[in-house]
Structure 1
Amino acid sequence: MSTKKTTPVLLAIFVVVTLILSCKKSETQEAASSPVSVPEKKTTFADGPWVRQFTENFDDASSFDRWTRTNRADYNSSICNYQWSNPTIGNYDWRSVLILTAGGSGSYYTSGHVKSNYSFKPANNEKYRVSAQIKLIAMNGATYLDFNQTYGAWPAFWTVQETAWPTKGEIDIMEGYSFGGNANFASNLFYGNSSGNNQLGNTCQRPFSVNSGWHMYDEYWQNQNGVVTVTIQLDGVTVSTYTNSANGNLQLQNFGPHNIILDLCVGSNANIGIFNNASINLYSKTMMWIDYVTVDKCTI
């Protein structure tokens, strides 16, 4: 039986190669086992880094320190009474959420409405993104129902300056209207050069479709060299874009600063005429769940 000899040169080469491969394997394993660090409050996009300005996860009652709970009738529906105690924090779908609950009968309904204490407006060459994760749902006893089975519910996620409305504008990111078997959704803008005078009518209403379940709604509000643009997205897809060309009376440069509002209205006044208040059906209750609200800013 012959024995193969290894020359000193070959042995040296073998040792060097083995050390190199061993070193590379060690580096690879270390990289694979190291956790990836993702910045919580800053993410890089094409325009530059988004920097978190406001975060609301609705984890507990301390969340209400950052919001004002409304206690009055709705401006557009006298039968809907917002109560300070209505907004609550609870757990649904394995997450902590803000709950606005609409219920009642006849000509008296109660519901919830909250406004952020935080306000914002893009300066020149700035862009803001306002995001919320929202689910609309109803209950008949212990049975869950789709929002579109109700009639007369009017949820909204919007930003506005309420003082001297609409001289500082209003941006409706999402408004929903339930009609007992179907539901309509839309974005919209309101503006006027004097208090109480909306000069846009509903010319800026842009319908879009929403199915049941959780959805992410975004408002992008930017000022690029004095040109202001507002873009609305549903689940990352653009559903409407606004510039001053949308209406001759629109002056987006006059919008803001805005607060953020979440509300669940019921019915409508006769002069608005969206619903037949005699036909309202919220079943046992109709709810708006909000998982989070965030605001980010970047330079452009």
Structure 2
Amino acid sequence: MKKLSLLSLAMTYLIGFASCSDNTAPLSESQLTNVNANKSTGKVASAPWVKQFEDTFNVGSNLSQWTKEQRTDYNSPYCDYNSSVPTTQWRDGKQCLEIKTTKLSTSKYRSGFISSNYQYKPENNTEYMLSANIKLVAMDGGTYKSFTETYGAWPAFWTVQGNGWPTKGEIDIMEGYSFAPNTSRFASNLFYGTAVGTNLLGNSAERNYPGSFNINANNGWHLYESFWKMKDNVVTVTIKVDNITVATYTNSGTAKLNLNNFGPHSIVFNMNVGSKDSSFIDPNKINLFSTVMMWVDDVTVYKRPI
């Protein structure tokens, strides 16, 4: 999620993207909710990986490891985040974090934004592995719809240091954009700058998911990962989806990027709706049916020496 500084709410981003091949036929309700077809892709790392953080979002949890935002999204006047929206629910036979949208009026949607109180940054000769299992799905009354059938949804899984953004960087592991009847798009991205409120990278670090990525595969569940390491003071960030590398970032690969200045970062899940840029997301076309939801089965952070 491209996050704007509180000091520069009027700032906008130029969004660059390309199509992914996920424009498949809509899934039936039975396909979307078949627990037997939806085995967990939970990450369990063996030595020398050591677990640093985990939330399995057990139903009844008060989400005490997280901060829930109450504000309008910095990138969209159509989306208001409410602290009551992030909840824990049984979904697909799993205990999940659920972030769901609700249409309040023709120009307002209520949604959720949650960031971890836990923060991390690799020390020299260490690597961190952040993993989350996520499903994006819509509902039309009591009927499940594919995320690909919606228009105007903007879910994201990312890490950031919000204070002084973007001087401590931002790592977007997954940003999804729905544009039905056209193909939905998914990408990773980085943001960085030396002055508060000024991103020096534009979208030069945006990397589209591979064309083989299908949001409806594996019953809609996918494993999203960020590997963040420092080896002999050289920093590398690698993004993977379902164990396939989406992007590998180094300072030499992107002009004006300085990964050594990144962090410490919190983990963020949110569901934005619409955009300030009507040429990117046309507010007159927004269609989320009854709701679009992000389900997160689990999130873990592991660390190892390298």
User: What is the TM-score with the length of structure 2 in the denominator?
Assistant: 0.81
Counterpart in 2 of 1:189? 190
In 1, distance between residues paired with 2:202 and 2:167?
Answer: 14
What is the total number of aligned residue pairs between the two structures? Answer: 256
Q: How does 1:128-143 map to 2 (within 5 A)?
A: 128-143=128-143
Deviations 1:195-224 (A, max 9, x none): 000000000000013421100000000000
In 1, distance between residues paired with 2:214 and 2:268?
Answer: 20
1:231 is aligned to 2:238: yes
In 2, distance between residues paired with 1:58 and 1:42?
Answer: 19
Q: How does 1:63-102 map to 2 (within 5 A)?
A: 63-102=62-101
1:268 is aligned to 2:275: yes
In 2, distance between residues paired with 1:291 and 1:127?
Answer: 23
Q: Choose the corresponding residue for 1:254, options 245, 254, 261.
A: 261
The AA in structure 2 aligned to 1:84 is: S
The residue matched to 1:77 in structure 2 has which SS? coil
Q: How does 1:1-300 map to 2 (within 5 A)?
A: 43-44=46-47, 49-104=48-103, 105-181=105-181, 182-208=183-209, 209-212=213-216, 213-270=220-277, 273-300=279-306
The AA in structure 1 aligned to 2:196 is: S
Q: Does the Cα contact within 8 Å between 1:185 and 1:210 map onto a contact in 2?
A: no
Q: Does the Cα contact within 8 Å between 1:129 and 1:296 map onto a contact in 2?
A: yes
The alpha-carbon deviation at position 106 of structure 1 amounts to 1.2
Counterpart in 2 of 1:28? none
Consecutive unaligned residues of structure 1, counting only runs of 5 or more, are 1-39
Deviations 1:261-297 (A, max 9, x none): 0000000013x74200111000011100000010000
In 2, distance between residues paired with 1:258 and 1:61?
Answer: 27
Structure 1 pair 91–192 and aligned structure 2 pair: CA distance change class (3 A): same
Structure 1 pair 273–261 and aligned structure 2 pair: CA distance change class (3 A): farther
The residue matched to 2:275 in structure 1 has which SS? coil
The alpha-carbon deviation at position 42 of structure 1 amounts to 5.7
The residue matched to 1:64 in structure 2 has which SS? coil
The AA in structure 2 aligned to 1:218 is: E
The alpha-carbon deviation at position 248 of structure 1 amounts to 1.9
Consecutive unaligned residues of structure 2, counting only runs of 5 or more, are 1-42
Deviations 1:112-157 (A, max 9, x none): 1100000000000000000000000000111101001000000000
Counterpart in 2 of 1:15? none
In 1, distance between residues paired with 2:214 and 2:163?
Answer: 31
In 1, distance between residues paired with 2:165 and 2:70?
Answer: 19
Q: Does the Cα contact within 8 Å between 1:41 and 1:51 map onto a contact in 2?
A: no
Q: Does the Cα contact within 8 Å between 1:83 and 1:111 map onto a contact in 2?
A: yes
The alpha-carbon deviation at position 183 of structure 1 amounts to 0.7
Q: CA RMSD in A?
A: 1.3
Larger Rg: 1
In 2, distance between residues paired with 1:210 and 1:77?
Answer: 27
The AA in structure 2 aligned to 1:236 is: N
Q: Determine which structure has greater relative contact order: mean sequence separation of CA pairs < 8 Å that are 6+ residues apart, divided by chain length.
A: 2
In 2, distance between residues paired with 1:277 and 1:215?
Answer: 28
The alpha-carbon deviation at position 234 of structure 1 amounts to 0.4
The AA in structure 2 aligned to 1:292 is: D
Structure 1 pair 137–229 and aligned structure 2 pair: CA distance change class (3 A): same
Q: Does the Cα contact within 8 Å between 2:187 and 2:207 map onto a contact in 1?
A: yes
| Runs of 4+ more than 6 Å apart | none
In 2, distance between residues paired with 1:277 and 1:68?
Answer: 29
Q: Does the Cα contact within 8 Å between 1:140 and 1:283 map onto a contact in 2?
A: yes
Q: Does the Cα contact within 8 Å between 2:123 and 2:230 map onto a contact in 1?
A: yes
Higher strand share: 1
In 1, distance between residues paired with 2:94 and 2:50?
Answer: 25
Q: Does the Cα contact within 8 Å between 2:139 and 2:291 map onto a contact in 1?
A: yes
